[in-house]
A = this chain, B = another copy of it.
Amino acid sequence: MQESWIEKFRGLNSLPEEIRSELVEGSDVVSVPAGTQIFAPGQTADNLLLLIDGTVRVQQRSDTGREIFLYRVHAGESCVLTTACMLAFEDYAAEGSAETDVTAVAIPRATFDGLIARSPVFREFVFAAYSRRITDLFTLIDDIVFQRMDVRLASRLLELAAGGQVVRATHAVLGTELGTAREVISRTLSEFQRRGWIEQSRGEVRLIDEEGLAYLVKSSGS
């Protein structure tokens, strides 16, 4: 029962029994409330986090004071950037915060180091997580540069709704989420509404015609 969380992480399933218990013994399951700062520049992180439940939002605070959303860590994923934090990197401005209440496995540096040294499976898990992050950033860059705003917004709405009909977010939040201005979101949403794809009320967007949104996304070669 205690070690059942391992099942949530594909890539850890095949850990040999001995390593598996070393991992469980040497780490803690922690819970943090929504809004908690997970890592930030200057703040030394001593744990690698594996998310069991909830999401962590990683964003960059720009020199100019503006913020840009980078990616979201979901349950079943690990928050590899904290390892960068462990190395106490000088010049980075990314920060991670709990977007919802979060339950996670915290692997302290010592345990992490030991597992990396001893288990090829664990190594592969960690490297895969890193690589995944990097390739995700590649597609993000590709999107930012080549994809139209309306397509990106439509796609993000579908993603945030997660199968449901409602997205609770202000225009300003959607703006930082896509790295654009609130006005652009307002105008694009008006257009979506005009086409009957969504309905709006203060702080929320209701998806009426997901087909329409999905068609927009699909039609533009993404």
Interface of A is mostly: helix
A-B contact pairs, 25 of them (CB 8 A): A60-B138, A63-B222, A64-B146, A68-B145, A68-B146, A81-B131, A83-B127, A83-B131, A87-B124, A87-B128, A89-B128, A89-B132, A92-B135, A92-B138, A93-B142, A94-B138, A117-B120, A130-B130, A130-B134, A133-B134, A134-B134, A137-B141, A144-B144, A144-B145, A145-B179
Distance in angstroms from A137 CB to nearest chain B CB is 5
Q: Compute how far the CA of A84 lies from the CA of B93 in the bound complex, rounded to whole angstroms.
A: 25
Distance in angstroms from A117 CB to nearest chain B CB is 5
Q: CB of A43 within 8 A of chain B?
A: no
By beta carbon, the residue of chain B nearest A118 is: B117
By beta carbon, the residue of chain B nearest A133 is: B134
The one of B89, B113, B142, B144 in contact with A123, judged by C-beta atoms closer than 8 angstroms, is B113
- Known interface pairs A62-B146, A68-B142, A117-B117; A137-B134 also in contact (CB < 8 Å): yes
Q: CB of A16 within 8 A of chain B?
A: no
- Known interface pairs A60-B141, A144-B145, A145-B144; A131-B70 also in contact (CB < 8 Å): no
Q: CB of A221 within 8 A of chain B?
A: yes
Q: CB of A91 within 8 A of chain B?
A: yes
Contacts of A123 in B (CB 8 A): 113, 116-117
The one of B83, B120, B135 in contact with A89, judged by C-beta atoms closer than 8 angstroms, is B135
- Known interface pairs A113-B120, A134-B84; A141-B89 also in contact (CB < 8 Å): no
Q: CB of A140 within 8 A of chain B?
A: yes
Q: CB of A66 within 8 A of chain B?
A: yes
